[in-house]
Protein backbone atom coordinates (compact mmCIF):
# COMPACT_ATOMS: atom_id res chain seq x y z
CA UNK A 1 0.00 0.00 0.00
CA UNK A 2 1.22 3.50 -0.79
CA UNK A 3 2.50 5.73 1.97
CA UNK A 4 0.33 8.68 2.96
CA UNK A 5 0.68 11.44 0.39
CA UNK A 6 1.95 9.08 -2.30
CA UNK A 7 0.15 7.34 -5.15
CA UNK A 8 0.73 3.77 -6.24
CA UNK A 9 0.94 2.77 -9.90
CA UNK A 10 1.98 -0.22 -11.95
CA UNK A 11 5.25 0.06 -13.84
CA UNK A 12 6.41 -2.37 -16.50
CA UNK A 13 10.11 -2.30 -17.36
CA UNK A 14 12.53 -4.55 -19.17
CA UNK A 15 14.29 -7.02 -16.86
CA UNK A 16 17.72 -5.54 -17.59
CA UNK A 17 16.52 -2.07 -16.58
CA UNK A 18 15.09 -3.38 -13.32
CA UNK A 19 18.30 -5.32 -12.65
CA UNK A 20 20.32 -2.13 -13.06
CA UNK A 21 18.00 -0.21 -10.73
CA UNK A 22 18.21 -3.00 -8.15
CA UNK A 23 22.02 -2.93 -8.26
CA UNK A 24 22.08 0.85 -7.90
CA UNK A 25 19.57 0.76 -5.05
CA UNK A 26 21.65 -1.83 -3.19
CA UNK A 27 24.83 0.20 -3.70
CA UNK A 28 23.13 3.33 -2.34
CA UNK A 29 21.33 1.47 0.48
CA UNK A 30 17.86 2.34 -0.81
CA UNK A 31 14.79 0.33 -1.67
CA UNK A 32 14.05 -0.10 -5.36
CA UNK A 33 11.01 2.14 -4.93
CA UNK A 34 13.08 4.90 -3.29
CA UNK A 35 15.75 4.55 -5.97
CA UNK A 36 13.19 4.91 -8.75
CA UNK A 37 11.87 8.07 -7.11
CA UNK A 38 15.40 9.50 -6.86
CA UNK A 39 16.07 8.69 -10.51
CA UNK A 40 12.79 10.26 -11.60
CA UNK A 41 13.46 13.42 -9.58
CA UNK A 42 16.96 13.72 -11.05
CA UNK A 43 15.64 13.26 -14.59
CA UNK A 44 12.93 15.87 -14.02
CA UNK A 45 15.47 18.32 -12.61
CA UNK A 46 17.74 17.83 -15.64
CA UNK A 47 14.80 18.65 -17.90
CA UNK A 48 13.97 21.74 -15.89
CA UNK A 49 10.64 20.44 -14.67
CA UNK A 50 9.84 22.04 -11.34
CA UNK A 51 8.04 20.21 -8.63
CA UNK A 52 6.52 21.39 -5.38
CA UNK A 53 8.64 20.72 -2.30
CA UNK A 54 7.34 17.91 -0.12
CA UNK A 55 6.72 18.31 3.60
CA UNK A 56 10.37 17.47 4.37
CA UNK A 57 11.69 20.13 2.00
CA UNK A 58 13.39 17.69 -0.41
Per the structure, how many domains does the chain have? 1
List the domain range (segments joined by +) for residue 39: 15-46
Per-residue model confidence (pLDDT) at position 55 = 47
**Is 32 part of any domain?**
yes
Per-residue model confidence (pLDDT) at position 56 = 52
**Is 21 part of any domain?**
yes
pTM to 2 decimals?
0.76
**Is 3 part of any domain?**
no
Per-residue model confidence (pLDDT) at position 4 = 85
Strand extents, DSSP E, 1-58: none
Q: For every one of its 58 residues, what pLDDT tens digit does the chain have, with 9 covering 90 and above?
A: 668 888 999 999 999 999 999 999 999 999 999 999 999 999 999 999 866 665 455 5
Radius of gyration of the chain (CA): 13
Amino acid sequence: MASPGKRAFLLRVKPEVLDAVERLAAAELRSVNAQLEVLLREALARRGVSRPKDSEGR
